[in-house]
Structure 1
Amino acid sequence: MALKATIYKADLNIANMDIHQYGDYQLTMALHPSETIERLMVRILAFARYASEQLEFTKDLFETDEPALWEKDLTGQLVHWIEVGCPDEDKVKKASARCKSVAVVAYGTAVEEWYKRNSKLKTLSNVEVWQLSPATTEAIQQLCERTMQLQLNVMDGEWTLIGDHAQAQIEWIQLQ
């Protein structure tokens, strides 16, 4: 019998004073049996970075030609493609041809090596690549619960994610 996904819910309140973005989002995510808590929480941070009413989680672990998140316009056309982790360079290249903008939120110990190996990414003008520090991904895992109340505060470039029992400083490193 196959293992089933575990459902996580997060009420995410964003107060980004740098770009004057404020909003409340009710997120429902499925944690695939092969997925880690670290990746689940990175998906939440990716959502927070690009938050909009049209941004949604996809079935990326089930459907290999989908990203972790995407945003479509009212006609159903892809506007924003967001990958989490260290995706295949060809997948990112295809996405950049289909969408206005593509983002990669990379994390883990192999990010620098992955970025060096995928030199074609640097030629894609509509692709941005962000890296989360290992300290960040370690800290955000402490905030994870099946039902989460999360507050994200952003001021002067400093990101703080606050949960019921802990908080985490989020360190973003822009690679591209």
Structure 2
Amino acid sequence: MATGATIHTFDVQLADTDRGVYEDYSLRVARHPSETDAYMLTRLLAYGLEFTEGIAFSEGLSSTEEPAIIVRDLTGRLTAWIEIGAPDAERLHHGSRLAERTVVYTHRDPAKVMAPWAGKRIHRSEDIRLFSFDPGFIEQAVPLLERRNTVTMTVTEHTLYLDLNGMTLSSALHEHELA
């Protein structure tokens, strides 16, 4: 855990009907002092939306060599590089070279996130996807965060239904192609 990090716990019930993934799990998430609540929440949502065997949070902001979330197979091979926020083109290029799949989840305006990538060399950019939420969705959810949280994530027909500590919100999952 990062020094000075605030620990948040999340008891999550996930029902992703689009992918056929149904899991209950608990997470201890260390929020670094320089990490915003919006970033941490997006990281939590991305973890659930990408949930699969071998998924894990990396060392986070203290690690420049790994994305926020990684997926490894049973042999330890990196299969997914999952970035949060607005990574630069160089990080995407690096991640795309190392992993079979590279995705970005953002809590920001996707057009502004993608603009700096235009014209930059990004390995297999046509295969990289950027996912975003409806405008205001993350901002509505952030005030609901507590140190101990109960979360239900239901995904159906590319819509996320989020119950966070007894309040229910929903957002379409918007997928953007880089190339």
TM-score normalized by the length of structure 2: 0.89
Match of 1:15 in 2: 15
Q: Is the 8 A contact 1:107 1:133 kept in 2?
A: no
SS of equivalent residue, structure 1 residue 161: strand
Q: Distance in 1 between matches of 2:92 and 2:133?
A: 18
SS of equivalent residue, structure 1 residue 175: strand
User: In the superposition, relative to structure 1, how do residues 114 and 16 fare at CA in structure 2: closer, same or farther (>3 Å)?
Assistant: closer
Structure 1 residue 45 displacement after superposition:
0.7
Structure 1 residue 56 displacement after superposition:
0.6
Unmatched segments (≥5 aa) in structure 2: none
Q: Is the 8 A contact 1:12 1:25 kept in 2?
A: yes
Unmatched segments (≥5 aa) in structure 1: none
Q: Is the 8 A contact 1:143 1:167 kept in 2?
A: no
Match of 1:132 in 2: 133
Quote the RMSD (CA, aligned, Å): 1.9
Structure 1 position 43 matched with structure 2 position 31? no
Task: Using the TM superposition, name which of 158-167 and 33-42 deviates more.
Answer: 158-167
Q: What is the aligned-residue identity percentage? A: 28
Q: Is the 8 A contact 2:158 2:173 kept in 1?
A: no
Q: Distance in 2 between matches of 1:25 and 1:50?
A: 14
Matched AA of 1:67: P
Q: How does 1:78-97 map to 2 (within 5 A)?
A: 78-97=78-97
Q: Is the 8 A contact 2:59 2:68 kept in 1?
A: yes
Show structure 1 runs of 4+ deviating over 3 A: 120-123
Structure 1 residue 116 displacement after superposition:
2.3
Task: Using the TM superposition, name which of 64-73 and 120-129 deviates more.
Answer: 120-129
